[in-house]
Amino acid sequence: MRIHYVHRGALWGYSPSGRRHRTSTYRGEPTGHHPPAKKEPELFPTRFITAVLGGIAALVLVGAPSATAAPQPVAVRTIYYDASKAAELSPLVDQAAEIWNTRVTSVKLVAGQGGISVTTAQNGSAPGTASCVGCTRGQIYFYRNQIKSSGAGPLRVVVHEFGHILSLQHPSDIGNCDKVMAGGRCENPYPNADESAAVQRFWAGSRLRAEPGPLPADESETLGAPALVTR
């Protein structure tokens, strides 16, 4: 004969020999057989939540606008000039180069050899001359007596001749002091906006020919753009 006791919610029994043994672990219920409690389903299963969050993250990554690629900078053409023979005008040559460098970004005038040779002499046919228009190598000559008699500021004359090297021809309104390429009895050494823009376009669109051999005196056609006349 087995005797059953409920003790603190657990069912304990005694066999005829008097040995106690545990018969159930179900707490708070009458003695007898009881099925295990059903587990309540999760309202939002963990796996489902993880999948949803992962999908949202993927959509964010795919849908996010990509950073706009930075525009490619314009390639800068370097023209070297050598002012070692410019004598007393050498500082003005450097100053004129800097004036152009601060107004255009597609070409840069840099002191050095192998490009434009600058020479100062006593007398010539004009205050200054350039051997080429729109070129990377050539010669510039300045003449002391003609600069003095022209009534033009010496720095204006130097900037003017560099303007030829950089692709500019004379405009039709000679003597217009607003234009550095117009000559005249003027002091203004600064190119106007149209002159600067013309140089910028020329060197931004120019390209040296691929064929070997020396370039012609006027490289403007070889560089892919005609010499420019500002109006």
Q: What is the pLDDT of residues 191-220, one digit of tens each?
A: 999 999 999 999 998 765 444 455 455 555
Give me the pLDDT at residue 205, please: 85
Which CATH class for the 77-208+216-223 domain?
A: alpha beta
CA 10, CA 28: separation in Å to the nearest integer? 8
Q: CA 129: distance to chain centroid?
A: 37
Angle, helix 154-165 to helix 90-101, in steps of 10 degrees: 60
pLDDT at 142 over 80: yes
**Domain ranges in the chain?**
1-29, 77-208+216-223
* For residues 50-65, average pLDDT: 48
Q: Is 127 in contact with 143 (CB distance < 8 Å)? A: yes
Give me the pLDDT at residue 54, please: 56
- Stated pTM of the model: 0.64
* CB contact set of 132 (below 8 Å; sequence gap of 6+): 138, 164, 165, 217, 218, 219, 220
